[in-house]
Amino acid sequence: MPTGVAIRDVREQLFAAAERVLLRAGPNALTSRAVTTEAGCAKGVLHRHFADFDVFLAELVRDRIAGVEARGTVLRGAAGTGTVVDNLAAALTDLFGPVALGVLGLVTARDGLRTELRRTTPTGIPLLTEAGTVITAYLAAERGLGRLTADSDTETLGLTLIGSGHLLFAGREGDAPAGADVRRVVGTVLTGVLAGATAQPGRAG
């Protein structure tokens, strides 16, 4: 490929193809041949840009992690606006969309991929770990604005919200959980830490 832009275009084409295969057929169907066939290109194209298939998949996961971190910047910018519960419910719904759940299933299914990802995510589960950091940073911003109590343990709350969100969204056939259910879970987790008159579980905080 003559330019960096062209190389980036090929990467995104292959990543998008991998996601389509993953969503349609699951982690076990994701092979280099399936990806290149879905992308409409020769199998050799993938191996010209990535050392092996696990390296390709690791770069796919890291690309999606970068997207989570970028959305985290937007979420932190929303601190002090709207309601804490609504902001977090929307963030969890976005974080645990079909692609993210598919990627998490892929990480769980492939030992070689997990090994490759340990270079940049040495502990925890890649994608979930970074999502937890995003949620924790938002909670800390809200605490700093006085919308959470001063003694709020934002790290524990962030981990609890990510774990609860994953369980709520994972393994579902068809539609995501109702917004009211997501807000109820968030409100329950935040019981006792929403400052002032907003400290009512299951309601906007």
pTM: 0.86
Reported as a single tens digit per residue, the pLDDT across 112-134 is 899 999 988 888 889 999 999 99
d(CA 76, CA 98): 23
Is residue 176 pLDDT above 50, yes or no?
yes
Element (H, E) at 165: helix 154-169
Exposed, middle or buried by CB within 10 Å (0-12, 13-18, 19+), for 195?
middle
* Model pLDDT, residue 13: 93
**Residue in the block written with tokens 């917004």:** 179
Is residue 200's pLDDT more than 50?
no
Q: Are 88 and 161 in contact (CB under 8 A)?
A: yes
3-state secondary structure at position 195? coil
User: Which domains, ranges and CATH numbers included, belong to the chain?
Assistant: 1-49 (1.10.10.60), 53-198 (1.10.357.10)
Q: How far apart are CA 124 and CA 137, in angstroms?
A: 17
